[in-house]
Amino acid sequence: MTDRTFFCTPNQMRGSSILLPEKRKPLLLMRKMEPVLARSEELLKEIHALVDRPIRLMVACGNQNRTLLKNYVRAKLPASLELVAGPGCSVCVMPAGHIDAFVKVASQPGVITAVCEDLLQVRGSKESLGSICAKGARVELINTPQEALDIARHEPDSTVVYVAAGFEATAPNVAETILCAAESGLENFCVIPSIRLLPPTIGRLMENEKLHIEGLLCSDSNNVVSDTDAYSHLARKYNLPCCIAGFTLEDVLEGILFLVRQVKAGTAEVSDDSAFSWSPLETNTALRIVSEVFCAVETDWRGLGTISRSGFVIRDELALFDATRRFNVHFTEGHENSKCQCNEIISGRSIPTDCPFFGMSCTPASPVGPCMISDEGICHSYFKYELQSP
């Protein structure tokens, strides 16, 4: 594998940190935060100066919504500027039928299921990976697909199934891992793919004129596979200003300001001022690897139905590493929890506080639906920050 480089997503890169000596840390944090806070206040003033009528924007990314809520920014924005969530949480958009397939595979003898923690509690029609783990199924919590590959190397008598759930930003890493398994002859490793592409789904939402979305803010972490051209197409077709931005408060506010300016000017352009930039070599390599392993097909989304070319499946040439084929499992229509209003919330039709269960019977300690389970879920962020707003 000397000719390949494992990719990590922008989120994973930002997740790393260097601990500072205790005595120096407060001083460094103060120096770092002062100019950022000042810039954020300037951006808020500019937004207030521009917004003179109702404007409705969609903040698709769960991490960007969390940034806004964590910094209590919604109360500081103009009252007529409405921000709604979108389908930018991969756990939240996972339909029950996909969870059912994960559970069925994980229940097979000799299988070790490797999965991210957020997905563990999400229920399918009846069970979750967490509930069958309590009954004896072996489920390992991991952060990267490479960790699943390591488990397969150390457990040659078991079949390790990696649950590849995420958006297009995760595709290069997963594709690289599958190719690594193929080149190493590691036949006890396979992947059950549930990777989704965001632009086709935004297009489906924009067909609903009742939503009246006038601008879209989305994450730069998806941009390596769904490049700017995909958002340019959305902008032209739906007269929809789009901004691809990072995750800091300044990033998000600059994105909102860009969208407000576009709405006011009656234009629909795309801004890609993302905090993370892929080099042309990295982009071309990632796209090549993804196309070598995956092809786009129609995929089911929670609350949004089946959307054309919005998901990835593993190509026939690598069928050995496709858990759905190895275990003859199909993604079927499952039964969603009727009490959960995640469907409306992730499609911009409602906000968490519209749900009668929010903060009552549905909390992070006892979640009813996936929007309260995942750290990226809008209900989880609302509960953690909005209910504790100073």
Encode pLDDT of 156-209 as tens digits.
999 999 999 999 888 999 999 999 999 999 999 999 999 999 999 999 999 998
Of residues 323, 313, 7, 17, the one with CA closest to residue 169: 7
The tokens for 153 are 């190397």
Residue 379 lies in a domain: no
Question: What is the spatial distance between Cα 163 and Cα 138, in angstroms, rounded to a whole number?
Answer: 13
Local structure of 297: helix, strand or coil: strand
Residue 72 Ramachandran class (φ > 0 left, ψ -120 to 50 alpha, else beta):
left
pTM equals: 0.85
Q: Is residue 13 one of the residues assigned to a domain?
A: no
Domain for residue 96, yes or no? yes
pLDDT at residue 224, rounded to an integer:
58
Q: Per the domain annotation, does 374 fall within a domain?
A: no
Asked whether the predicted pLDDT for residue 9 surpasses 70, the reply is: no
Going by the DSSP 8-state scheme, the letter that residue 349 receives in this structure is S
Burial class (CB in 10 A: 0-12, 13-18, 19+), 182: middle
C-alpha distances out from residue 210 to 52, 213, 274, Å: 21, 8, 30
Which parts of the chain fold into alpha helices (H)?
10-15, 25-50, 62-70, 96-106, 129-134, 145-154, 171-184, 198-206, 228-238, 249-265, 280-293, 323-326, 342-345, 370-373, 378-385
Residue 16 forms part of a structural domain: no
Q: How many domains does the chain have?
A: 1
Flag whether 154 is in a domain.
yes
pLDDT, mean over the chain: 86
Q: Is residue 296 part of a domain?
A: yes
Q: What is the CATH number of the domain that holds 276?
A: 3.40.50.11740
Helix (H) or strand (E) holding 17: none
Query: pLDDT, tens digit, for every residue of 66-81?
Result: 999 999 998 899 999 9
pLDDT in tens, 206-242: 999 899 999 999 886 655 565 568 889 999 999 999 9
Domain that holds residue 262: 36-355
Angle at 155 between CA 150 and CA 158, to 5 degrees: 120
Give the position of tokens 């951006």.
43
Residue 11, domain member (yes or no): no
Is 32 or 141 the better-scoring residue by pLDDT? 141
